[in-house]
Amino acid sequence: MDLPADVFDILRALDLASVVVFAITGALVASRKQMDIVGFLWLGVVTGVGGGTVRDLLLGAPVFWVVDATPLALCMGAAAIEHFSAHLVASRYRILLYLDAFGMALVTTVGTAKALDMGAGPLVAVCMGVITAAVGGILRDLLGQEPSILLRRDIYVTAAASGSIALLVADGVGVPRLAATGIAIGFGFGLRAMAIRFDLFLPVFKPRPGRMPGHRGEVK
Amino acid sequence: MDLPADVFDILRALDLASVVVFAITGALVASRKQMDIVGFLWLGVVTGVGGGTVRDLLLGAPVFWVVDATPLALCMGAAAIEHFSAHLVASRYRILLYLDAFGMALVTTVGTAKALDMGAGPLVAVCMGVITAAVGGILRDLLGQEPSILLRRDIYVTAAASGSIALLVADGVGVPRLAATGIAIGFGFGLRAMAIRFDLFLPVFKPRPGRMPGHRGEVK
Amino acid sequence: MDLPADVFDILRALDLASVVVFAITGALVASRKQMDIVGFLWLGVVTGVGGGTVRDLLLGAPVFWVVDATPLALCMGAAAIEHFSAHLVASRYRILLYLDAFGMALVTTVGTAKALDMGAGPLVAVCMGVITAAVGGILRDLLGQEPSILLRRDIYVTAAASGSIALLVADGVGVPRLAATGIAIGFGFGLRAMAIRFDLFLPVFKPRPGRMPGHRGEVK
């Protein structure tokens, strides 16, 4: 990103911190499922770096943690520590929710910027931001056999998308990248934090009774 | 593909239409699970472009919707519309089954041809055709936590494989690519349509009672 | 790998054999779920080549079975045969457990060596070894909707990781690659075989009662 060197360093440090927060939420699922330490490591790593990994594969970029294993090591460290102290994390999980919201907003912005810098169009860039933020959690729920993030209705992906779009708009109207980054993180975090604080949900599709086909004989 | 320009345009339009049909089947799962609009978008996009995405990653080709976001936009549009009108789709789902069959036959053929054009051998090319057709549905069922397409026994992948093999054979005996494409789509669609119409199934493996080990202590 | 040509040929043959053993464990899940032959082929192929595929994608290497379809053909052949004779496999599944243990140790070593040869650092190389060994089984359980390998507590990934680390250490202290390969396979297989023989498990995380938050309102 086209940012001053020290700001870039700060962003990079925050990005690593976000990955660690994700890893902690992954290890928390491992603790709830009473996994062994290997399960903690898997879920920690997959949740921590999964979103960025899928983003890099789709963009055709080298996978970030293969190039530099720091995020991998941090995820493993966090998951290993949590194996012995998950109750400490679990009892503070409301703080974790807000940290996760901040991490989400930050990696969305960084993921969107990476896609833009690699020449992706606006729609693809927003998708890459959302993928960076959400795919780790989706994989965590799949592997931990929890109800998927997609079936819960709290505003998570919407907040990520709004942050990503905020970056695009700010970038498009000529706001310097540094300020645009701040605005985008603010949008994503603000919306997510409000959703947590006030229990906001998106409206859901309500089928009309008797009109939906049953499960057997379904499409494909 | 080595086709006349206007035929290529027709194929491309049909390919986009197929992706949209897949997206609609994805959004239908979202409606059955009463997801919010974000869930509709995820399942629509994953089902619509998932198969082609995995194919491109495996072949080492640039992911098609990252290069040109049209299919992505169409999937999102279809899923968003369906969020407000899923009952209209659901009540016409037998038509949807046949549209899906046609889409399956078409993307199988296009996927197989893409693999051949990139230098893949025949077995890999058939697999790429099948992956293009089926992986979107597999991911849809995983993310929607539905019984997997793999556990249902209707003839879907078999139809895709037969279309793919038809393309290989026609191509191999010197049929022009345009005719070979038509033959392959006909094979795939014909077999799938017959399976829908006449409720055809493949025979399943029947374990001899008492001979299968139980679940605990299973392999790996 | 920097090995004599005939040793390389032996390793390659063993590597193919390992993939086939994995495919057989995949087809065994298909038989337990009473899938049709297409389900056998999917689970056989995904379990057989899934780990190596994800490794190659992450490393940015061409996917091994796209380059040379031999492993793909062998997986499909093994799965097809098993469709008609799964009870023969199931009744010998303790032998299969040990064959699987040997296959795991071997592909871990080969996967780690491949990552090292492509310039990966030690932590990434160990992860690639483990991914090669375990991701096929994880995908098999996801697609077969079985309880995930991650929720079972037998020593599998730990054995893979120990073999991988053994290769790194032996390589690091200057042991020739051939001997290092043997040592690594011995470590991985030995630990896994002991775990099978003596029913060894890793300790699991035990939550303190009443301290873990419930499922609703969970992180992300």
Q: Is residue B122 part of a domain?
A: yes
- Chain C residues near residue B219 by CB distance under 8 angstroms: 25, 28, 93, 96-97, 100
pLDDT tens for A70-108 read 999 999 999 999 988 877 777 777 888 898 899 999 999
Predicted confidence at residue B219, as pLDDT, reads 42
What was the ipTM of the complex prediction? Answer: 0.86
Q: Are C165 and A159 in contact (CB under 8 A)?
A: no
Max CA distance (Å), chain A: 61
Decide if pLDDT at C217 tops 50: no
- Tokens, residue A40: 């903690």
Decide if pLDDT at C214 tops 90: no
Q: What is the DSSP string of B15-81?
A: HHHHHHHHHHHHHHHHHHTT-BHHHHHHHHHHHHHHHHHHHHHHHTPPPHHHH--HHHHHHHHHHHH
Predicted confidence at residue B14, as pLDDT, reads 85
Q: Is residue B57 part of a domain?
A: yes
Q: Is residue A211 part of a domain?
A: no
Alpha-carbon distance of A216 to A193, in angstroms, equals 40
φ, ψ dihedrals at A219, nearest 5°: -55, 135
- Tokens, residue B104: 């399956």
Q: Minimal Cα distance from B143: which residue of A? A: A148
Comparison of pLDDT for A153 and A209, the residue scoring more: A153
Q: Is residue B212 part of a domain?
A: no
Predicted confidence band of residue C212 (pLDDT cuts 50, 70, 90): very low
Q: Are B125 and B168 in contact (CB under 8 A)?
A: yes
Count of other CB atoms within 10 angstroms of residue A51: 29
Predicted confidence at residue B1, as pLDDT, reads 53
Decide if pLDDT at A214 tops 70: no
Predicted confidence at residue B3, as pLDDT, reads 64
C186 half-sphere exposure, CB direction, 13 A CA radius: 8
As a whole number, the mean pLDDT across chain A is 85
Q: What is the DSSP string of A21-66?
A: HHHHHHHHHHHHTT-BHHHHHHHHHHHHHHHHHHHHHHHTPPPHHH
Alpha-carbon distance of A167 to A55, in angstroms, equals 17
Domain extent at residue A68: 5-198
pLDDT tens for C59-74 read 999 999 999 999 999 9
Q: What is the DSSP string of B114-129?
A: HHHHTT--HHHHHHHH
Mean pLDDT of all residues in C78-88:
86
Predicted confidence at residue B206, as pLDDT, reads 59
Phi-psi region of B63 (alpha: psi -120 to 50; beta: other; left: phi over 0): beta
Predicted confidence at residue C128, as pLDDT, reads 96
Comparison of pLDDT for A130 and A202, the residue scoring more: A130
As a whole number, the mean pLDDT across chain C is 85
Q: What Å distances lie between residue B180 and A152, B55, B110, B157, CA to CA?
A: 46, 21, 11, 20
Q: Is residue B46 part of a domain?
A: yes
Predicted confidence band of residue C215 (pLDDT cuts 50, 70, 90): very low
- Chain A residues near residue C57 by CB distance under 8 angstroms: 57
Predicted confidence band of residue C204 (pLDDT cuts 50, 70, 90): low
Cβ neighbours of residue B142 closer than 8 Å, sequence gap 6 or more: A142, B148, C142, C143
Decide if pLDDT at C208 tops 70: no
Alpha-carbon distance of C198 to B44, in angstroms, equals 48
- Chain B residues near residue A57 by CB distance under 8 angstroms: 57
Q: Does C86 contact B205 at a Cβ distance shorter than 8 Å? A: yes
Quote the minimal CA–CA distance from A124 to chain C in Å: 21
Q: Is residue A20 part of a domain?
A: yes
Percent of chain C whose pLDDT exceeds 90: 55
Decide if pLDDT at A213 tops 60: no
- Chain A residues near residue B91 by CB distance under 8 angstroms: 211
Smallest Cβ–Cβ distance between C219 and the set A73, A83, A100 belongs to A100
Predicted confidence band of residue A205 (pLDDT cuts 50, 70, 90): low
Sign of CA dihedral A55, A61, A63, A64: negative
Q: Is residue C80 part of a domain?
A: yes
Q: Does A143 contact C147 at a Cβ distance shorter than 8 Å? A: no
Q: Does C93 contact B57 at a Cβ distance shorter than 8 Å? A: no
Q: Is residue C47 part of a domain?
A: yes
Alpha-carbon distance of A1 to A184, in angstroms, equals 14
Q: Does B87 contact A207 at a Cβ distance shorter than 8 Å? A: yes
Q: Does A32 contact C148 at a Cβ distance shorter than 8 Å? A: no
Q: What is the DSSP string of B103-117?
A: HHHHHHHHHHHHHHH
Its pTM stands at 0.89
All residue ranges of chain B with pLDDT < 50 are 209-220
Percent of chain A whose pLDDT exceeds 90: 54
Comparison of pLDDT for A12 and B150, the residue scoring more: A12
Q: Does A36 contact C204 at a Cβ distance shorter than 8 Å? A: yes
Smallest Cβ–Cβ distance between A202 and the set B38, B62, B149 belongs to B38
Predicted confidence at residue A154, as pLDDT, reads 75
**Which residues are A204's β-sheet partners?**
B36
- Chain A residues near residue B83 by CB distance under 8 angstroms: 205
Decide if pLDDT at C144 tops 90: no
Comparison of pLDDT for A12 and C164, the residue scoring more: C164
Predicted confidence band of residue C96 (pLDDT cuts 50, 70, 90): confident
User: Could you give the number of structural domains in chain B?
Assistant: 1
Decide if pLDDT at A211 tops 90: no
